[in-house]
Amino acid sequence: AVSNSAPQREFIEERCRERGFNNVRIITCDVNQLKLDPNSFDRCVSIEMFEHMRNYEILLGRIASWLKPGGKLFVHIFVHREVMYPFEVEGEDNWMG
């Protein structure tokens, strides 16, 4: 698991303990700086991150390189039924926009 949020890391760790999962590695960092070995994962799950990203082509290419052949990516995006979520560019140094 990768998260830029320490509280989210703690939440994931707690849920893994509750369920007896011992094969989950949690990395706290900016996904833009993340370096992983190619062909490392069978599955990749993104929860409420893609709506904050700006360069999908590069990000999806990186994720594809981390997946084993036949690997799957599941993306959960935070949306609202009636109100759009505006993407705001707030400068190159802002990881959320």
Element of type H or E holding 8: helix 6-19
Q: How much is the pTM?
A: 0.68
Phi, psi (deg, nearest 5) at residue 84: -75, 155
Tokens for 73, please give them: 């990516």
Encode pLDDT of 34-65 as tens digits. 889 999 999 988 888 777 777 888 889 999 99
Q: What's the mean pLDDT when you consider all of the chain?
A: 84
Q: Rounded to an integer, what distance in angstroms lies between the CA atom of residue 64 and that of residue 4? A: 20
Q: What is the pLDDT of residue 60?
A: 92
Q: What is the pLDDT of residue 95?
A: 52
Q: What is the pLDDT of residue 18?
A: 98
CB 80 within 8 A of CB 36: no
Alpha-carbon torsion (57, 58, 63, 69), positive or negative: positive
Strands 27-28 and 41-47: unpaired
